Amino acid sequence: MVWNRNPEPFSELISADAVAKRVAELGAQITAEYRDAVGDVVVLGVLKGSVIFMADLVRQIGLPVYLDFIGISSYGDATVSSGVVQITQDLSRPIQDKHVIVVEDIVDTGHTVHYLMENLKTRGPASVKLCALLHKPERAERDIHIDYLGFTIPNKFVVGYGLDVAQQYRNLAFIGFVP
Ligand code: IMP
Ligand code: MG
């Protein structure tokens, strides 16, 4: 078996096929809802965890979109959110009057996304919506509205499909958890 499709030493939570199916559904939903905004849609990936998800998602969106990235640090290499959020790399272009779709890997405590959404709203966008692959509601410390959600998951530390353990294993094809 190809290394990045073998669940060991993790346990598989969501298979690569199930992820692909859900990403296609999210792409179709976004395509339908942004038809009238063509020319002004910015898909904004939060580095680095969203990169794999974003690459697949934008290829399921049947409209031309701009891509941009923002670097956010809330954890260091720890596995528990400190609640202190920093922008480590800013957008390459202004988002004034743009329709922004923020793409995140996971909403855990919600501190990162809360900070980011508030920050982006001060920049005069036409709209800002949130697309998150995963949501761990049991860990919520902030009330976050997720406009496009892949999967709700239990309170486990997950890895793969962009998510890391100490910066590794982002290239697993499936989503696993540390047993
Ligand atoms: P929050 O601020 O607690 O919502 O944390 C969000 C960020 O922490 C995410 O963007 C991830 O980068 C990281 N994170 C949270 N939970 C996990 C997990 O289970 N596995 C890997 N990274 C996680
Ligand atoms: Mg992240």
107 lines ligand 1 (CB under 6 A): yes
Sign for the pseudo-dihedral over CA of 155, 156, 160, 165: positive
Of 56, 97, 105, 108, which one is the catalytic site residue? 108
Is the confidence at residue 77, as pLDDT, over 60?
no
Ligand 2 (single-atom ion) residues, CB below 5 Å: 49, 105
pLDDT tens digits, 149-160: 999 999 999 999
Supply 174's token pair.
């499936």
pLDDT tens digits, 82-102: 667 889 999 999 999 999 999
Is 108 among the catalytic positions?
yes
Name 161's Cβ contacts closer than 8 Å, sequence gap at least 6. 16, 19, 52, 53, 105, 133, 170, 172, 173, 174, 175
Out of 24-38, 64-78, 115-129, 156-170, least confident range: 64-78
pTM for the full predicted model: 0.95
104 lines ligand 1 (CB under 6 A): yes
